[in-house]
Amino acid sequence: MAFLYKGDNAAAWAQEFAARAPEIPFHLWPAAGEAADFDPAAVRFLAIWQPPADIPARFPKLEILFSVGAGVDQFDLAKLPPTLPLVRMVEPGLIDGMVEYVCFAVLGLHRDMPHYLSAREWRPLPVKTAAQRRVGVLGLGELGRAVLTRLATFGFDCAGWSRSRHELPGVRCHAGADELPAFLAGCDILVCLLPLTAATRGMLDAQLFAALPAGAALVNVGRGGHLVEKDLLQALDDGHLSAAILDVCEPEPLPAGHAFWRHPRIWLTPHIASATQPASAVEAVLENLRRHARGEALVGLVDRSKGY
């Protein structure tokens, strides 16, 4: 019943497993494959970020496949056995990091920091209160709900949108395509925390930007594939959007000569909004292993029909 791990912070994961679950044989990939006594057929659980195409053939008795990140768009679901559970990472460290980053981004936009840092002149802008600033989050999963809960404590006028109905105290929740225009019309700052699927790829486009109020700003912490780059540049250059903070791009890393690097109203960070923390991630994985042993539902189990 071996557990195989491939990803960042490998030594920390090994240390956490040894301390918390010494009874579970823990291996690091690719080093495990070089060991003479390593048996791929003994691997029951695999945690990985970028999977190879031949997972079923490599590990014929695999029982659970874990993503070491919150997203699973890097997995080709069509190449995975339909009965193999795929589990995305749901752990406090990753959630807390995203909350911190989005609060930084929203507060920076709220207080006009992109303008001040690019203008380099002593010219104060009118200051709005948080209650006068409407913040909307696309995506109401664990990350989106946590972000909105924290943003509401600053006094922002908060709203959220997702494909299915949610309820969140102090937040106006919209659902489905019919309610998207009303949601967008009420967003001075739009935060994208959607999963990347066939339905959401390219969703941040000219049509969506046009539905935002003039002067609105964008924060994309979802995936680079959500954004139509030329449409963002056009909306910024036309003045319809005031600024954008982007933590994700496509491809990554962004090429050195890309227009985003030199645009005065774009802030770029290298996909650092949130990172899985080994201690809390291992505890989340072990809790799912305990659930699996008891025949209970897994936390973060991906719905193949939705793609997340």
* Nearest-angstrom CA–CA distance, 229 and 225: 9
* Nearest-angstrom CA–CA distance, 89 and 297: 15
CA-wise closest residue to 107 among 155, 171, 144: 155
Catalytic residue selected from 134, 145, 174, 223: 223
Catalytic residue selected from 163, 271, 292, 304: 271
Tokens, residue 131: 């209650």
**For residues 247 and 218, is the Cβ–Cβ distance under 8 A?**
no
Torsion of CA 16, 17, 21, 26, to 10 degrees: -170
Question: Residue 2 — φ and ψ, nearest 5°?
Answer: -80, 155
**For residues 248 and 220, is the Cβ–Cβ distance under 8 A?**
yes
* Nearest-angstrom CA–CA distance, 74 and 217: 28
133 is catalytic: no
Give per-residue burial for 111-124: e unless 16+ CB within 10 Å, then b. ebbbbeeeeeeeee
Geometric angle at alpha carbon 195, from 190 and 198, rounded to 5°: 110
290 is catalytic: no
Q: How many CB atoms lie within 10 A of CB 203?
A: 19
The separation between the first and the last C-alpha atoms of the chain, rounded to the nearest angstrom, is 27
Return the active site residues. 223, 271
